[in-house]
Amino acid sequence: MAKPKSQAIQARRIRPTIHDVAKAAGVSIATVSRALNSPDSVRKELRERVVAAADSMDYMADSVGKALRRQRTQIISTMLPRLADPLFSAVASAIQETLEENGYLGFVQTSGFDNTNLFDRAKRLIEHGTEGLIIFGRIDDQRLLDYCRAHQLPLLSAYSYFEKAEVPTIGFDNYLATRQLVEMLHTLGHSRIAMISGSDKGNDRQQSRIRAFRDINAELGQEPVIEFTHMDFDMADGGAALRRIMENHPETTALVCNRCVIAFSVMVEARRLGIAVPEHLSLTGFDDIDYAALFDPSLTTVAVPSEKIGRAAAKAMIAHLETGAPLGSRRFETEVILRRSVARPRATA
Amino acid sequence: MAKPKSQAIQARRIRPTIHDVAKAAGVSIATVSRALNSPDSVRKELRERVVAAADSMDYMADSVGKALRRQRTQIISTMLPRLADPLFSAVASAIQETLEENGYLGFVQTSGFDNTNLFDRAKRLIEHGTEGLIIFGRIDDQRLLDYCRAHQLPLLSAYSYFEKAEVPTIGFDNYLATRQLVEMLHTLGHSRIAMISGSDKGNDRQQSRIRAFRDINAELGQEPVIEFTHMDFDMADGGAALRRIMENHPETTALVCNRCVIAFSVMVEARRLGIAVPEHLSLTGFDDIDYAALFDPSLTTVAVPSEKIGRAAAKAMIAHLETGAPLGSRRFETEVILRRSVARPRATA
DNA sequence: TCGTAGTTTGTAAACGTTTACTGTTCTTAA
DNA sequence: TTAAGAACAGTAAACGTTTACAAACTACGA
């Protein structure tokens, strides 16, 4: 009789297995598994012996073995542009919490602001057993779309909402939100409105906001005034953009900044230039980060229901995995938060 | 001969396995594995056939099977108080990026601001094959410490640095940083300094800062003036604390706020009360979030090298896992960023 | 032509689980 | 006392990999 070949692997991790528990409790591994997973199916006395043995050695069933057998990992991964950004991290945080509450776990990976090459970055997530993928923003990588379709990997686009998208989207509509904001300014009497945007390259949020602004201007028969500004992390140089606008379009009475940080830096520069906000120039930001209320003057912005979006995205994905309910799109409302940085336009000549 | 019992499992995920590739290429699964993992060990012709077959069906080796066999998951998990907080998310982001660059993947879980009951929350991370655990702040859960020691699970405390800690710590020293800051104010001539802190319950950062402040006051033979303020997410109500201090200790010439958001809210209230910053009252924050420079007056704070800390923590853990190098502690320097919110004290009567 | 060494491929075991099936023991009614 | 059925426990297969070992083939020198 050939003695069994031994292929012992040096264990990195000294963790008791179900075999250790079985031996300690004097039962088979099947009984251990049942005692822990469906306690009713094993006699009280044995069950207690098993539980005692398991507790005494801090036994935790290894999810890797479990995942292999069950063909379920309970892992849902998220890709987002940048984690160190209050806009996104609020949503990501809500996702992670919702996952945890429902027995799932999530990988988080940053994608940068370019969604065209997602597949390669998502690969490792998929390899590691990701059952569902939540991606912030519009997904521009055809390979990823094809892969997910071919292999039935549920894919959800979160944060931004799109009227027509290749995959279900859960989020808010940047186009609509910007329209709301600009129309509010119109209602107040502003007719000369300029926009300062961050780079719109690969950034669906800026793209939608710009498109909304252009559309409104077109409807009014005006030439849109848009300046771009470099944004680095949480800093933006809105100052230079402000100077360009003031020089080339001094008739401007309201300035729509596509991110709060842009508005903040514009405010600093305005103060330096002696431009009174809001008396001479009304100013708005976007995404109502908490600091917006603390600036002087406090900043008018669009509030985004980040937490709701995150929870909804995670819940939708979980429901899909567990009940097969189809992944649907969902649009969340934004709200214009009117603060002191906006007033009626100054009297123009 | 008994026909093999079939225990087919309904596959959730339609992903090709190594068997599919083997069949398509007309080789054994061992050859597929070798062709993909150590290409030199298989004949060119076969290798190409295998690679072609694998590519044609988007084959990715399943990390679950791989992890089970290799006894390595390459997963390093992080627990941090709150993800939607620029302080922490900057560090977490650096960790995730470093992990990814080195072939690892990371779970992220929030712990809230209480580190006494970590074990239960960490359980799922451990079950899922976490090879190393990075936890923000001081670890107060003895069960977790015991478990990690008993089962050789590498544990690292990041963000805060502690002179003497049960586990290796990588971060900055809140005690020292606060001393630096207060001593700088002293050097400028301030002798009546008050502190506004967030809750110190289960929060080692606030605790260290308060301790430093008490120590300095003790050395000067002064009674420390400390007010606490409620902090909710990124908002703080420093206003009430400011009023209490101005009422009970009108001689105060400098105010040390233990978080930037506290300082921001204090600034707002000071303006309302007509207290000039910095002419009447100097003001400091902590952790140099980007907005600090944009406020008016710009805020003096302590800059924390978040990204360096995150990268160092991730790298240390990876090195430990791969080379067995012992996990060591490391202290990063902070820097006082002097801005306009601080000036010499007003002339006192 | 043969033996030998080197190269390449296949077979099967192992990683830690869950669970279908089978076998054993216990209970209960005739 | 015995048969039948219920309740419980154990055996073994399976999930997708990697890899030790064995087997087969190749090249080459004598």
Q: Locate the chain A residue with the closest alpha carbon to B83.
A: A93
- Nearest nucleotide over every DNA/RNA strand to the A8 CA, judged by C1': C14
Are A102 and A245 in a shared domain? no
Domain hosting residue A149, numbered range: 76-173+305-333
Could you tell me the CA-to-CA distances from A266 to A15, A237, B221, B294 in Å, in that order? 57, 8, 46, 10
Are A90 and A208 in a shared domain? no
Best of B66, B93, B233, B311 to disrupt the A interface by mutation (most A CBs within 10 Å)?
A: B93
pLDDT tens readout for residues A114-133: 888 899 999 999 999 999 99
CA of residue A52 to C1' of nucleotide C29, angstroms: 38
Could you tell me the CA-to-CA distances from B240 to A215, B214, B237 in Å, in that order? 46, 22, 6
What is the per-residue burial (b if ≥16 Cβ within 10 Å, else e) of A284-297?
Answer: bbbbbbbbbbbbeb
Task: Determine the distance in angstroms separating the CA of A99 from the nearest CA of chain B, rounded to an integer.
Answer: 10
pLDDT tens readout for residues A51-70: 999 999 999 999 999 999 99
- Domain count across chain A: 3
CATH of residue B25's domain is: 1.10.260
A70 touches strand C (CB under 7 A): yes
- Largest pairwise CA distance in chain B: 105
Distance CA B330, CA B169 (A): 6
**Residue A340 in domain:** no
Task: Determine the distance in angstroms separating the CA of A285 from the nearest CA of chain B, rounded to an integer.
Answer: 14
Count Cβ atoms below 10 Å from residue A18 Cβ, excluding itself: 20
**Residue A104 in domain:** yes
Are A300 and A312 in a shared domain? no
The answer to whether the Cα torsion of B57, B59, B62, B65 is positive or negative is positive
- Nearest nucleotide over every DNA/RNA strand to the B30 CA, judged by C1': C10
Distance CA A125, CA A75 (A): 9
Q: Locate the chain A residue with the closest alpha carbon to B128.
A: A63
Can you give chain A as a three-state secondary structure string?
Answer: CCCCCCCCCCCCCCCCCHHHHHHHHCCCHHHHHHHHHCHHHCCHHHHHHHHHHHHHCCCCCCHHHHHHHHCCCCEEEEEECCCCCHHHHHHHHHHHHHHHHCCCECEEEECCCCHHHHHHHHHHHHHCCCCEEEEECCCCCHHHHHHHHHCCCCEEEEEECCCCCCCCEEEECHHHHHHHHHHHHHHCCCCCEEEEECCCCCCHHHHHHHHHHHHHHHHHCCCCEEEECCEECCEECHHHHHHHHHHHCCCCCEEEECCHHHHHHHHHHHHHHCCCCCCCCEEECCCCCHHHHCCCCCCEEEECCHHHHHHHHHHHHHHHHHHCCCCCCEEECCEEECCCCCCCCCCCC
Distance CA B311, CA B76 (A): 13
Which residue(s) pair with A110 in the sheet?
A: A80
CATH of residue A42's domain is: 1.10.260.40
Q: Locate the chain B residue with the closest alpha carbon to A104.
A: B124
- From chain A, the residues in CB contact with B105 under 8 A are 107, 109, 124-125, 128
A41 touches strand D (CB under 7 A): yes
- From chain B, the residues in CB contact with A11 under 8 A are 71
Could you tell me the CA-to-CA distances from B225 to B201, B243, B344 in Å, in that order? 18, 13, 20
Are A107 and A181 in a shared domain? no
Are A103 and A159 in a shared domain? yes
Are B300 and B180 in a shared domain? yes
CA of residue B41 to C1' of nucleotide D30, angstroms: 30
Residue B144 contacts residue B117 (beta carbons within 8 Å): no
CATH of residue B260's domain is: 3.40.50.2300
CA of residue B93 to C1' of nucleotide C9, angstroms: 45
**Residue B1 in domain:** no
Are A191 and A284 in a shared domain? yes
pLDDT tens sequence for chain B (349 residues): 333 334 444 444 479 999 999 999 999 999 999 999 999 999 999 999 999 999 999 999 999 999 999 999 999 999 999 998 889 999 999 999 999 999 999 999 999 887 888 999 999 999 999 999 999 999 999 999 999 999 999 999 999 999 888 999 999 999 999 999 999 999 999 999 999 999 998 899 999 999 999 999 999 999 999 999 987 656 678 899 999 999 999 999 999 999 998 999 999 999 999 999 999 999 999 988 888 988 889 999 999 999 999 999 999 999 999 999 999 999 999 999 999 999 999 886 4
Are B253 and B317 in a shared domain? no
Radius of gyration of chain B (CA): 27
Are B178 and B283 in a shared domain? yes
pLDDT tens readout for residues B311-340: 999 999 999 999 999 999 999 999 999 999
**Residue A147 in domain:** yes
